[in-house]
A and B are shown apart, each in its own frame.
Chain A
Amino acid sequence: MNELILQEKFLSKETKGFLLITTLFGILVVILSLLGESNPLHLPVYVVNLLGKYVTYAILALSVDMVWGYLGILTLGHCVFFALGGYVMGMYLTRSIGAQGVYGDPILPDFMVFLNWHELPWYWQGLQYFPLAAVLIVAVPSLLAFVFGKLAFSSRVSGVYLSIITQALTYAMMLAFFLNELGFGGNNGLTDFKTLLGFSLQTDGIRIVLFALSVLVLCLSYLLCRSVLISKLGRLCIAVRDAENRVRFIGYRVENVKLLIFVLSAAIAGIAGALYVPQVGIINPSEFSPVNSIEIIVCVALGGRGRLYGAVIGAILVHIAKTCFTNLMPEFWLFALGALFVLVTLFLKDGVAGMINSWINSHHAKTEMRMA
């Protein structure tokens, strides 16, 4: 799968291709959406919004691929980091509402007024400042990943056990965020956002900007992952995936390698969540639900693990399919998703990206034969 990564340059052929295609796609969508309404090629803003949502899922899938594809840990709860990042963003947006809420309280969010709270809990303090929110978007998921990873990896919980515990983690977080006493809006979550950095979220312009920003973050995350992977840490990470005990016997601290990659991945997932929330306009505890994490896993599996761009392809494909199915025949989506799991694991071990790769390789081999 990754035999060649050790000799790879930072900007490999795939990376260049990926960046080129993604940038072109982003620019194309922005241009098409800016065309006049009468133009046949005009993209309605709701489609741009939808695409922006897909791109945030792609960033999340990228972070999952770091952990599952390169570290070999099947995480069934990665949405926990996504949702936490989203909640921090949601808190910032909620504080930005100010006195424009239903109850018009300048400080307290609507749901707190509704619950008869009289002061802001300590963890809501200061979140009206974007720089602090931006720091917390990365810090909160990273911190949880650090604590959880420290506990799990140092006790050498691995394989299926670890997968189940990650699932239980996200399940527990979901239950916790459903509680009204926690002060995150209970089962309604946070919604009715008005502005982001002073710009109204209802305008078309900000939606296009958010989409472009998501594409930019996708490219940057991709480059970040690449740079980690070709470093010594990345090589160790792949070594841990393929033969954990050998790496340990040589004398490396396996748990530290795992922890670094895991925390990095959680931070990226948190950023994805933060981009997701203003585009969807709501964040509630259902984002923690185990099924969401599983959907992301199937994206990575379908796209192909351990390739980075595979995860992105998978995320886009699965979510396009999901949108189509839920609009046409909602009952059918879960059948399709279930079948996707079974078929991909049975017949498409390396995913779509693997297929593309082998096709390109065989094509190359043929041309070389002809040259010879």
Chain B
Amino acid sequence: MLLTVLFISTVYAAEPDYEISKSLKDSLTDSKAKSRDNAIAILSEDLSEQNILVLNKLKNGLVYYDSQKEIFLKESVESNCYIQPSTSQKVCNLKLRRSGISTLQKKKIESILLKSALFSSNDSDRAKAVKKLLEIESQNDLPSEETIDKLIRQESQKEIYKDLKIVEALIQSRSPELGVQKLISCIDILEEKGNAACIQAIDRLKLSTNSEVSQRATKAASSLSFSKSISDFFEKIFFGLSLGSVLVLAAVGLSITFGVMGVINMAHGELIMLGAYTVWIIQQIMPQSMGLALFISIPCAFIVSAFFGILIEHFVIRHLSGRPLETLLATFGISLILQQLVRTLFSPLNRAVATPEFLQGSVQITSNLSITCNRLSIIFFSLVVFAVIVLVMKKTRLGLEVRAVSQNRAIAKAMGIKAEKVDVLTFGLGSGIAGVAGVALSQITNVGPNLGQSYIIDSFMVVVFGGAGNLWGTLTGGLIMGIANKLLEPVSGAMLSKIIILIALILFIQKRPRGLFPQRGRAAED
């Protein structure tokens, strides 16, 4: 196979469209990393498209060579295929040696590439490069003032021009000889932007010998720190909402089954895990289109988890009716079996689930408050799923029967509702929702055999807090728990916040033993 590939590639070798000079080859294939300095120098003399590509590959450690000192560029970290720059041929599965670089050289390449991007004729490349300049923490790494000045004079795009002005202000803020007026106008510009680098610059200006400048800087710094604390608070709320909406998704299925059948399914967490693994499997099947795979896996995960849930109901839970504690034990056993099954089938290690393009990135709201797309879409997704469940419960025949059985099983049966059928369907529905929750979770945490375990206790707490069998209780409970978690975390650390929440929950149950919104019933034994 490999031989044929090689054979074909030699037969159809195209005319060399990119020549690697001998000195460059030598410096790339030398075993010492020091000689890479030479290669970087040669490459940065002429920043052609090909040279920039090689620099990029070198930066990411994707440049390889064989025993004939032939250079190969690896496609990506995960792939085993290489491109030969001289022929643009693709070859796979070779034994090659890597041309490694030191971190200092990596930094050097980065600054070269940044500089070349700053002078790029492509607007979006240039905009990205200038944005990068604003993120640089230490201002010693910024380009010289002449460079920026030159760029400002050339710039036609308004947005980029604005950003360049801020970079200029960052640089000028370091030179007190520019005079008071100049410095104060710098502070104005920096305050308007207000990101981390700007705050650093303003803090430095606070120490200025000139009282006018230092006063102005102090004022700017305090207003910036105030707005930062506000946006931090909102960020925590947002994180809390996203965690809470995941908890709602995880707990809602549990809540429904508990409300209808009075049994707690300890294997619920493992059903969530199965949903997450479904995403991984489908992404393995269709690696070309991650986004589509994610959408396909929503119904698939529902079906997979629902199938397992119905199996559990049919073979175990049905035979333990009226014995809730035994059911709890039996389902716990099932959860152990499912976990071990996943470990044996897929390995005990975590699996990498890819996040599609459209979920990466973030929405910038203010200069220091940005919201990541995947969390935003999870909040949205949870609300949609929740709305669908509410509609099913309120508007369909099944929902009516489910509500009837959960309120009073005996009377519902007397009215001709087949309670056993409702049990199976409810269990399928609850388990399916767990699978869908797994799809959402696969986008924010590691997918591994213990995924379910880490969320199950939290979901239980949501059910206990919100009141079992009540959808709105689960929604409120989940969101409150999520937000409380995230607000406490920075104050007391992640573990302690969990403990505090648990103690708070135990105390809350003193007041309301059946949760926020208890189910109404007439039985004395409730």
Contacts and interface: CB of A to CB of B under 8 A. Distances in A.
Contact of B330 (A74, A156, A169, A342): A342
Contacts of B327: 345
A246 B3 CA distance: 85
A178 B507 CA distance: 24
A179 B333 contact: no
A346 B330 contact: yes
B41 interface: no
B391 interface: no
A157 B325 CA distance: 14
Given A155-B513, A167-B457, A161 B337 contact: no
A345 B329 contact: yes
A163 B340 contact: no
A20 interface: no
Contact of A164 (B337, B339, B464, B495): B464
Nearest to B323: A345
B306 to A, nearest CB: 20
Interface string A331-352: 1001101111110111001000
A297 interface: yes
A338 B336 contact: yes
B369 to A, nearest CB: 30
A262 B509 CA distance: 19
A175 B496 CA distance: 8
**Chain B interface extent, by class:** 35 or more
Contacts of A161: 464, 509, 513
A179 B495 CA distance: 8
Nearest to A150: B510
Interface string B426-464: 000000000000000000000000000000010011001
B333 A160 contact: no
Interface string A150-181: 01101111011101110111011001101100
Given A163-B328, A331-B343, A342 B525 contact: no
B325 A159 contact: yes
A127 interface: no
Contacts of B330: 341-342, 345-346
Nearest to A347: B319
Given A301-B329, A345-B330, A168 B502 contact: yes
Contacts of B461: 164, 168
Contacts of B264: 160, 163-164
A342 B464 contact: no
A48 B343 CA distance: 34
Contacts of B525: 245
A234 B339 CA distance: 40
A189 B505 CA distance: 28
A116 B489 CA distance: 25
Given A151-B510, A157-B513, A337-B333, A176 B328 contact: no
A168 B457 contact: yes
A160 B336 contact: no
Main secondary structure, interface of B, reads helix
A160 B337 contact: no
B316 interface: yes
A242 to B, nearest CB: 12
A74 B325 contact: yes
B499 A334 contact: no
Contacts of B173: none
Interface in B473-516: 493, 495-496, 498-499, 502-503, 505-507, 509-511, 513
A302 to B, nearest CB: 11
Contact of B495 (A155, A178, A245): A178
Contacts of B328: 74, 160, 163
Contacts of B333: 298, 337-342, 345
B324 interface: yes
A228 interface: no
Given A152-B506, A339-B337, A342-B333, A160 B325 contact: yes
B320 interface: yes
A169 B506 CA distance: 9
A19 interface: no
A334 B509 contact: no
Contact of A155 (B262, B343, B503, B509): B509
Contacts of A245: 524-525
A184 to B, nearest CB: 13
B326 interface: yes
Contacts of A172: 498-499, 502-503
B245 interface: no
A185 to B, nearest CB: 15
Given A160-B325, A179-B495, A335 B340 contact: yes
Nearest to A298: B329
A287 B502 CA distance: 20
Contact of A169 (B325, B464, B502, B524): B502
Contacts of A345: 320, 326-327, 329-330, 333
B438 to A, nearest CB: 20
A294 interface: yes
B507 A175 contact: no
Interface in B306-347: 316, 319-320, 324-330, 332-337, 339-341, 343-344
A214 to B, nearest CB: 27
Contacts of A339: 333, 337
Interface string A249-291: 0000000000000000000000000000000000000000010
B320 A346 contact: yes
A257 to B, nearest CB: 18
A209 B325 CA distance: 39
Interface of A: 74, 148, 151-152, 154-157, 159-161, 163-165, 167-169, 171-172, 175-176, 178-179, 245, 290, 294, 297-298, 301, 331, 334-335, 337-342, 344-346, 349
Closest 8 CB pairs of A and B: A341-B333, A338-B336, A338-B337, A334-B340, A338-B333, A175-B495, A74-B325, A155-B510
Interface of B: 258, 262-264, 316, 319-320, 324-330, 332-337, 339-341, 343-344, 457, 460-461, 464, 493, 495-496, 498-499, 502-503, 505-507, 509-511, 513, 524-525
Given A298-B333, A346-B316, 5 more contacts: A74-B329, A165-B506, A172-B502, A338-B335, A342-B330
19 contacts: A74-B325, A148-B506, A151-B510, A155-B513, A156-B513, A160-B258, A164-B264, A164-B464, A165-B506, A167-B460, A168-B505, A179-B493, A294-B329, A294-B332, A331-B343, A339-B333, A340-B333, A342-B330, A342-B333
